[in-house]
Amino acid sequence: MSRIVNVAAAQLGPIQREDSRAIVVKRLIDLLRQAHSRNAELVVFPELALTTFFPRWFVDDITQADHWYETNMPSVATQPLFDEAKRLGVGFCLGYAELTADSQRFNTQILVERNGSVVAKYRKVHIPGHEHHEPDRPFQHAERYYFTPSNEGFGVWKAFGGRIGMMICNDRRWPETYRVMGLQGVEIILCGYNTPLHYVPDPSQDPLQGFHNALVMQSGAYQNGTFVVGVAKGGLEEGVDGLADSSIIAPSGELLAKTTTSDDEVITATCDLDWCNNYKNTLFDFDRYRRPEVYGRITQQRGSILD
Ligand code: CDT
């Protein structure tokens, strides 16, 4: 049985506040078709791929933001994407803001198989930014106001002939994210992101955004013997410049493909999942070499404890 998966990262350029779901879904379908014409069978879209990155604005009454969230998936607006993907026999991963029937708000990504069935839903675990309005900032990053951190953790699902995991944006900066999936034998991790180039709490990091993005995903791939697909919504969105640099990374940690623009753009790579075993069965043979008995602090405490 083939262990080759042709993967596409479908980067989005900016989505402005006034852009309707219909306009965005049309862009997603264009990217899906481009990916299919390049033999992709799994297309990965960014975090919050249906709207502008709305946590950059604060509203006192959160229900005024309800229109940014999806209450159903597929919805009337997204059904054409699901239909076209099924017609083409292409699976996809899509990020969106989710408002549940019991009024919980999650930053969510779903994985859809080539036959149109929804395989899995992942809700973001690490929610960055701030809870309250900070008017002195040039723009807000109020994800902690708009989203509840998920307690469901990091699943790995059998799909596309392999073991697929998901993470969303800030999750990619935390080694625990990859390791929890690595311990479930993950072979491809799918990650959408929106990363402003200006990091307000410490602007000295601004010129390093691309470096840090590559650093964390390439390390996570290598240390866990897995492919990683990182997909941006980048470019100048409502006056805020976002990192592009979408990439497909091998289990060796090497870059297989990277976008060259900060607009809508498709990149592809042929991923032989058996490549993962070169790492999982040697240097990173977890069962042979890991020492969980001395890693207790990782799960027993949150912050650093200084003597
Ligand atoms: N979307 C998201 O998680 N973005 C964060 C920005 C830095 S925290 C303000 C990221 O980790 O890229």
Please report the pLDDT score of residue 65 as a whole number: 98
Q: Is the pLDDT of residue 1 over 80?
A: no
Alpha-carbon gap, residue 266 to 144, rounded angstroms: 31
pLDDT category, 243, cuts 50, 70, 90? Answer: very high
* 170 Cα nearest atom in ligand 1: 11
Is residue 190 within 8 Å of residue 164, measured between CB atoms? yes
Among candidate residues 41, 98, 124, 187, the one labeled active-site is 124
- Report the separation in Å between the CA atom of 289 and the middle of ligand 1, taken as the mean of its atom positions: 33
For the chain, what percent of residues have pLDDT higher than 90?
Answer: 99
Please report the pLDDT score of residue 256 as a whole number: 98
Alpha-carbon gap, residue 57 to 82, rounded angstroms: 30
- Report the separation in Å between the CA atom of 302 and the middle of ligand 1, taken as the mean of its atom positions: 19
Q: Is the pLDDT of residue 262 over 90?
A: yes
Residue to probe by mutation, ligand 1, list 12, 125, 193, 240, most atoms within 8 Å of CB = 193
Alpha-carbon gap, residue 58 to 51, rounded angstroms: 16
What's the predicted TM-score (pTM) here?
0.98
Q: Which fold has domain 4-300?
A: Nitrilase/N-carbamoyl-D-aminoacid amidohydrolase (3.60.110)
Residues with CB under 6 A from ligand 1: 47, 128-129, 141, 169-170, 173, 193-195
Q: Which amino acid is at 239?
A: G
In the residue annotation, 152 being an active-site residue is answered as no
> In the numeric block, which tokens belong to residue 302?
């949150």
Name, in order, each residue with C-beta under 8 angstroms of 79's C-beta and a sequence gap of 6 or more. Answer: none
Among candidate residues 113, 143, 169, 280, the one labeled active-site is 169
In the residue annotation, 280 being an active-site residue is answered as no
pLDDT category, 307, cuts 50, 70, 90? Answer: confident
- Report the separation in Å between the CA atom of 141 and the middle of ligand 1, taken as the mean of its atom positions: 8
- Report the separation in Å between the CA atom of 196 and the middle of ligand 1, taken as the mean of its atom positions: 7
Please report the pLDDT score of residue 2 as a whole number: 65
Virtual torsion, Cα 290, 277, 185, 283, nearest 10 deg: 10
Q: Which residue blocks in the chain are alpha helix, DSSP H?
A: 21-37, 79-88, 143-146, 175-182, 209-224, 275-280, 286-289, 297-300
Among protein residues, the one whose CA lies closest to atom 9 of ligand 1:
129
Tens digits of per-residue pLDDT, 150-183?
999 999 999 999 999 999 999 999 999 999 999 9
Tell me how far apart the terminal alpha carbons of the chain are, to the nearest angstrom: 55
Please report the pLDDT score of residue 254 as a whole number: 98
Mean pLDDT, the chain, integer = 98
**Mean pLDDT, rounded, for 146-153:** 98
